[in-house]
Structure 1
Amino acid sequence: MKLEQLRMLSRIVECGSLKLAAESLHKTQPALSMAIKKLEDEYGFKILNRDSYRLSLTEEGLSFYRKSQELLLNSHQLNSLGQHLGAGNEPLIRVAFDQVCPYTQVLKVLKLCQQEYPLTEFKISEKSRFGALDMLRNKQADLVVSPWWPTLYAAGDFDTLPIGHFRILMVAAPELFPDGPVTHSEQLKSQVHLTIETSRFSFDSDSLMLDKGVRRWKAQDGFTVKQLLLAGLGWGYVAEHLVTDELERGELIRLTPSDVEYSVMGEVRLIRNLEDSLGPVASMIWQSFAQMETLPIK
């Protein structure tokens, strides 16, 4: 069996006659008849019913034809993949992003890349507290979207591209503080501080946020912290874009104690290892981010 025989069979079924199929394939009718006859002889059953004016598939032929369509599709996909890889395009891109970073630009760029390079596979990882940057440093990601401070240059040889900003807010369920607005950090100590586990970066410390003398629960990611906040189990810091709707509906409220930081703003950057060259697909991602307007802090 050869793929060319299956292509002929497929065309015969589509056209319903040897004459039309031969014309569309620029072959002679005897050539098509011989190809199908060889298939029938090879497997020992009739594929085409030739008793009527219009050719039709036998019961066995229909089953064979359906399976052949899968094989032809796989062949086409394999050929396309071969051309894709032969052009130097990466078979896989690993992208990681931090939950604190707004997703709008990331999703837009991934959509553009999917349209431009449909055969490149993507492995998308979502992390918290510099986990994405840690993956880049350990060669587990090719590109990451992460919060950025200048001190992070000490963590590795990175090339960075500013692409936006983030904001972290101190929030809680309204029933957690029924006596009125939180104006001082002492009011927080009666409730549990919900936080995300620290990363392996030395500068990522719980001391960066208020927690001395406060009971503390730790979760692995921002989404879990959000659910704990909504359940009224404590107060905590969470990315603004994760709780915009809940704040508007009053399910969560902002806490603004005067003696501690209750809002943290910073820059978001696209980051890669400087020593690793970018292939065509990764370069397209980089350039797409570069051409987008940086999201402002609201």
Structure 2
Amino acid sequence: MKLSQLEMLILLAEHGSVQQVAEHTHRSQAAVSMALKSLERDVGFRLFDRSGYRLALSPHGQQFVRQAREVVRQQQRLASLAQQLQAGAEPQLRISYDYTCAPSVLFPAIRAMQTAFPATELLLSGDSQLRSLRRVKEGEVELALCPWLPVFLQHGDFESIRVRPFELVAVSTPALISKESLLELQRSHLLDIPMLIPQDQDVGIDLDKIMRLPGQRRIRVNDSITQRELLLAGMGWGIVPKDLVKEALERGALQSIDIPGFMTEVSLEVRLIRSAERIAGPAEEAIWQHFAHRSELRRST
């Protein structure tokens, strides 16, 4: 039983004609007929119903051709895998995202990468605070998605591409601050309400310098996911990445708080980051170029 025989059988099932099989395979009709008869002898049962004008599959043949299609598909996948490995495609691609950044922004690029490089296994992991940046530096991941400040360059030789703005929003549950109070809210109104704040970021962001609310009751947590859950439970108010609470704001579980002079000017972006000291593999480069192309389009419009 040869792969070429299975391919002819599949073509016959699709086109119903030995002549068309011969045209598709660039063989003579006699050669196709001989190959199909040889396949029938090898399997040991009738693949074809020869009672009609045209050669047709027998019931056993119809069952057999379904499995033949899968065998041919597997062979094609194996050939594709060999080509990918010959071209140097990575066995694995490791991506870390900071919990403050919704990873869904990566999904279109990942889909395209998986189509182009099916042999590359993707490892996607979340990290609290900005440890993903350090994981890039230490070679634990190839790419990281996280908020970016120029000061991060002092922590390593990085390349980065802007993905989108990083928005911080002050929020609370409606039960903590009534609508009436919200209309006249001042900084002093929040002093008696616990403020939920992530612990100091260890790679450059200092929220105490960004915010101007000294002498406040505070509850510090070690990541933004925990902070969001405490906010939803009505344990206090706080500042969170807008991505993490967008759905809660839309359904009214949380409400935004607008306080004049609440935050100093701070410009943050979500960026895709990689080490500038290593050569990227083709799967990694495909994801990188996805965002590089988007960046070029923004500049041209």
Q: Report the TM-score when normalising by structure 1.
A: 0.77
- CA separation in 2, counterparts of 1:161 and 1:22? 52
Match of 1:184 in 2: 187
Cα–Cα, structure 1 residues 194 and 50, in superposed 2: closer, same or farther, change >3 Å?
Answer: farther
**Counterparts of residues 1-298 of structure 1 (less than 5 Å):** 1-101=1-101, 106-107=106-107, 109-110=109-110, 113=113, 120-178=120-178, 180-181=181-182, 182-184=185-187, 187-191=190-194, 193-196=195-198, 201=202, 214=217, 216=219, 218=221, 221-222=224-225, 225-244=227-246, 246-247=248-249, 250-255=252-257, 261=263, 265-293=267-295
Report the Cα offset of residue 28 of structure 1.
2.6
- Please tell me whether the aligned partners of residues 255 and 262 of structure 1 are also in contact (alpha carbons under 8 angstroms): no
- CA separation in 1, counterparts of 2:110 and 2:116? 10
Report the Cα offset of residue 171 of structure 1.
1.1
- CA separation in 2, counterparts of 1:44 and 1:197? 72
Cα–Cα, structure 1 residues 62 and 221, in superposed 2: closer, same or farther, change >3 Å?
Answer: farther
Query: The residue matched to 2:238 in structure 1 has which SS?
Result: strand
Aligned-pair Cα RMSD in Å: 3.8
Letter in 1 for 2:241: A
Query: The residue matched to 1:237 in structure 2 has which SS?
Result: strand
Letter in 1 for 2:236: G
Cα–Cα, structure 1 residues 14 and 250, in superposed 2: closer, same or farther, change >3 Å?
Answer: closer
Cα–Cα, structure 1 residues 8 and 152, in superposed 2: closer, same or farther, change >3 Å?
Answer: same
- Please tell me whether the aligned partners of residues 152 and 204 of structure 2 are also in contact (alpha carbons under 8 angstroms): no
- Please tell me whether the aligned partners of residues 100 and 239 of structure 1 are also in contact (alpha carbons under 8 angstroms): yes
- CA separation in 1, counterparts of 2:199 and 2:46? 67
Number of residues of Structure 1 aligned to a counterpart in Structure 2: 293
Identity score, percent:
34
- Please tell me whether the aligned partners of residues 100 and 166 of structure 1 are also in contact (alpha carbons under 8 angstroms): no
Structure 1 unaligned runs (5+)? none
Letter in 1 for 2:288: W
- CA separation in 2, counterparts of 1:69 and 1:81? 18
Cα–Cα, structure 1 residues 102 and 263, in superposed 2: closer, same or farther, change >3 Å?
Answer: farther
Cα–Cα, structure 1 residues 175 and 271, in superposed 2: closer, same or farther, change >3 Å?
Answer: same
Cα–Cα, structure 1 residues 82 and 213, in superposed 2: closer, same or farther, change >3 Å?
Answer: same
- Please tell me whether the aligned partners of residues 224 and 240 of structure 2 are also in contact (alpha carbons under 8 angstroms): no
Report the Cα offset of residue 110 of structure 1.
4.2
